[in-house]
Amino acid sequence: MQSFSEIDITSKRASKAAGFDWGIAEEVGKNMRNLEMFGLPGVKNLNLYLQKIKKNPTEKPKKIEKENKPQSKEFCPIYCGTTFLDDCKMLERLSRIKFINVSYPLLFLPFISRASEIVGKKISVQYEENNFLLNFDKTIFSKNIKNNEVVSLAKEVFIEFLENNNSFSIQEWKELYKLSEKTFVEETESSKKIGAGAGLTDND
């Protein structure tokens, strides 16, 4: 079994050999490491994609809008990802974004996952009946995806920034907080002196 470090380095070098500059290739290496850590077939998708663009180059988005459609070819998931990551704070205002015809969309996910951490919001991604919930670049929750199944072209990719909401009610929080109060320790004269900083001793 290959280590995550090997996956990172080999993916980076392969991306550079396929025509990406070193900066983007390094990002791809990290992304493949993360996808494989989350149990998603990053290496398989990257290998197929890099083989494909030898003969059929894909398109780089000039600017990301609320709805994005390539002029003639399919969108490159890596360039879509780097553009999305660079502009994620501005794109958050759009709330919901749509891409049409994205090649190997799984390769887009790690960039969006990192954007989730930057903006401090969970992000939902949907394409071809696959659903993902990206949690601040800590986890990727997937639904309806089969690990051995590769989506070579997503006709539509929907990305939505989700508002931060508690999963519990105000009443539940109050009850839990009230229970936590039983651990509080009453202040004593000794604890007041310790909490006051230098107390009776001055080292200056």
Can you give the pLDDT of all 204 residues of the chain as single tens digits?
Answer: 899 999 999 999 999 999 999 999 999 999 999 999 998 999 999 999 999 999 999 999 999 999 999 998 899 999 999 999 999 999 999 999 999 999 999 999 999 999 999 999 999 999 998 999 999 888 888 876 665 679 999 999 999 999 988 889 999 999 999 999 989 876 566 555 655 555 545 555
Contacts (Cβ under 8 Å, ≥6 apart) of 118 = 85, 88, 89
Distance separating alpha carbons of residues 134 and 156, to the nearest angstrom: 18
The total of other beta-carbon atoms located within 10 Å of residue 187's CB is 9
Candidates 119, 127, 150; CA nearest to 35 is 150
The reply to whether the predicted model has a pTM over 0.95 is: no
